Amino acid sequence: MKYLISAFLLFTSPIFPLSAQQTQKPVLHGRNWMAITGKPLAATAGAMTFQKGGNAVDAACAMLAATCTMWDTLSWGGETQVLIYNPTTKKVIAINAMGVAPTGATADFFKKKGYNFPPEYGPLAATTPGTPGGLIYMLINYGTMSLGQVLAPAMELAAGYPIEAQAANSMERGKTQINQWPYSKKVFFTHPGEKREAPEAGEIFVQKDLLETLTKMVEAETIALKSGKNRKQALMAAYDRFYKGDIAKEFVRGCQEQGGLITMQDLANWKPLEEEPLMVNYKGIDVYKMQQWTQGPVLLQALNILENFDLKSMGYNSPKYIHTVYQAMNLAFADRDFYYGDPYFAPLEPMKGLLSKDYAKQRAKLIKYDRNNPDIGPGNPYPFEGKKNPYTDLLKTRGFELDTSKRNFAPKHDLGYNTSPAELYQDRLWRGTTSVEAADKEGWVVSITPSGGWLPACIAGHTGVGMSQRMQSFVLDSAINPFNLVAPGKRPRVTLSPSLALKDGKPFVASAVQGGDTQDQNLLQFFLNMTEFGMNVQQSAEAANFNTNQLWLSLGGTKTDDRKPKPGQILLNSNTSENTREELKKLGYTLSFGDRTSGPINAIYFDWKHNSLWGGSSNHGEDYGIGW
């Protein structure tokens, strides 16, 4: 059977080589630095920071602060996940700035309120804020500037900036929820009582409370420096004012007034962590991801599985290629859904086994070319680290029998539910997050996937800080995932997943993308577009991808039915050829289509032949990059 190339290669005839494909946005080129993120003004904040002498970490902090201030599907009360390449040590490090579940956040607490999962919105959805602490940690250990310098653009934005239609319309669409929260109403509804209460596009949007919060942090740094403290001590003074001082007190008061659980002790006990990232080698390229409290290892597992196939010979987005990658992603996500969780809490996740090349070969043998397998479930990685699986009985209860060909896909307790509306499901699949990418000529590379506190957000008191909604990524039933059961002080297993790859010991490409459970699906295909099909970084960012829905959703819905997998459902690009559509239907797939199915991905490629930087910035919407 001849497999035809589909999706963005079949727009016109004749077919051009992949390396000749036109893109909607140009490749960014830079010799000195590159700054890319989800908003044009935020990318400008990164450029301003570079022009003032900052390094890539400083610029990344400035962009992070700006995107939070502009509500680019996140806020200051959210969470930050970072990969950094340090040119001095020539190593990749990870920064875990994910907040934790507050005091009183137990499975019983939420079950008594009628939830199958913690809520999507409001104060009970909030983990402790991670982004302020993560930003300051980055700055202390790897940046060169003061907090005042990197927050200057964000503070100017908080004082008033012309708001974009995307954010303004999100505020208007979120009226029902926002009206429940008095502090959110005060900030977001600049025209109270009118037909349109949210700002109009281009209106100068002012956030006085947030500006005061940022000003207090910078004041704490300034006072500390004037009193003779060194740079690190001064930055820690700003940190302490947010997590232990008057900002913390107002945050907690505002949270609890609206029904939230976060305490002063929760804020004081939390801290960002520096970690060793996880890594696999794919055909000579070392690919780094965050640890298993994120979904990042999914991409690593999928690469290990796909290494057993000749993808290039299949052809980009041919039916055989789509089928093979779809099946590999399903295998990896089935493991994610059961085995990933916070490594700082028992039980310990079997990551050595999950990332074993031999385990991947075993999983790869499950891929059949005559049909989609709707019964794919978690594998058994424990023998690949010399252990016995302690969850065999739990998997049987859930409806999965290890090491057999017959498996029930849905958990036994879930077989009676109806399906949720498709549009609501897709919204949950793609929800939230932005990306920040920065690099400089000294060799610093930063890849961030920050999120949390997206619109409609519940603002904590007079801080101007929107609270995270990441509690919803916990489970309340160990049959779904015994490693991700909610508990006070614990991090939820999140979708947030920056990537960084090295080749010959030097940076190759840094990438990140928004989009919930689709993040590592799109980053995987982006990486394969470059390594298998020779696309440049912008072509890879724009190229048509596909997404599987055969996984447990990490976001949205408080009922089991809202989250359960949809076997065989696949999202394809609208330009997918009729031949490819028909072949996939024969394999048992249920097809849906979108005009843009690439991410949106932002990335930086390192051209060592010419000692230059190549930037790829998504063509989805407001993503933007600047290079020099």
Query: pLDDT-based confidence at 12, cuts 50/70/90?
Result: very low
CA dist 565 and 374 (Å) reads 10
CA angle 365, 366, 370 (to 5 degrees): 105
pLDDT > 70? residue 114:
yes
Nearest CA-CA partner of 541 in 524, 526, 520:
526
pLDDT > 70? residue 155:
yes
Nearest CA-CA partner of 208 in 159, 247, 242, 167:
159
Instruction: Quote the tokens at residue 34.
Output: 């590159």
Task: Give the mean pLDDT of 490-509.
Answer: 97
More confident residue, 173 or 405: 173
CA dist 372 and 68 (Å) reads 41
Query: pLDDT-based confidence at 7, cuts 50/70/90?
Result: very low
Query: pLDDT-based confidence at 400, cuts 50/70/90?
Result: confident
Task: Give the mean pLDDT of 561-572.
Answer: 91
pLDDT at 409: 32
Instruction: Quote the tokens at residue 294.
Output: 């994120």
- Mean pLDDT taken over the chain: 91
Task: Give the mean pLDDT of 57-81.
Answer: 96
CA dist 552 and 475 (Å) reads 11
pLDDT > 50? residue 481:
yes
Q: How do residues 205-251 score in pLDDT, each as one tens digit?
A: 999 999 999 999 999 999 999 999 999 999 999 999 999 999 999 99
CA angle 276, 95, 456 (to 5 degrees): 140
**Cβ neighbour number for residue 621 with a 10 Å cutoff:** 12
pLDDT > 50? residue 16:
no
Q: How do residues 285-344 score in pLDDT, each as one tens digit?
A: 999 999 999 999 999 999 999 999 999 999 999 999 999 999 999 999 999 999 999 999
Contact 616, 537 (CB under 8 A): yes
Query: pLDDT-based confidence at 432, cuts 50/70/90?
Result: low
Task: Give the mean pLDDT of 521-533.
Answer: 97
Provide the strand spans (E) within 530-623: 547-548, 569-573, 590-594, 601-607, 612-617
Query: pLDDT-based confidence at 18, cuts 50/70/90?
Result: low
pLDDT at 396: 84
Contact 388, 403 (CB under 8 A): no
pLDDT > 60? residue 15:
no
Look at the block and give the residue holding tokens 């990933």.
340
pLDDT > 80? residue 170:
yes
Instruction: Quote the tokens at residue 237.
Output: 């003074």
pLDDT at 561: 83
Provide the strand spans (E) within 128-182: 161-162
Query: pLDDT-based confidence at 397, cuts 50/70/90?
Result: confident
Task: Give the mean pLDDT of 356-367.
Answer: 98
Task: Give the mean pLDDT of 78-91.
Answer: 98
Nearest CA-CA partner of 125 in 269, 308, 262:
262
Task: Give the mean pLDDT of 583-590.
Answer: 97
Which sign does the torsion angle of CA 7, 13, 19, 25 carry?
Answer: negative
Q: How do residues 188-200 score in pLDDT, each as one tens digit?
A: 999 999 999 999 9
Instruction: Quote the tokens at residue 200.
Output: 């109009």
Query: pLDDT-based confidence at 416, cuts 50/70/90?
Result: very low
3-state SS, residue 83? strand
Which sign does the torsion angle of CA 228, 230, 231, 234 carry?
Answer: negative
Percent of the chain topping pLDDT 70: 92
pLDDT at 19: 60
- Which range has the top average pLDDT, 81-85, 391-395, 549-553? 81-85
Query: pLDDT-based confidence at 547, cuts 50/70/90?
Result: very high
Query: pLDDT-based confidence at 8, cuts 50/70/90?
Result: very low
Query: pLDDT-based confidence at 401, cuts 50/70/90?
Result: low
Query: pLDDT-based confidence at 73, cuts 50/70/90?
Result: confident
Contact 236, 486 (CB under 8 A): no
Nearest CA-CA partner of 520 in 314, 307, 287, 190:
287
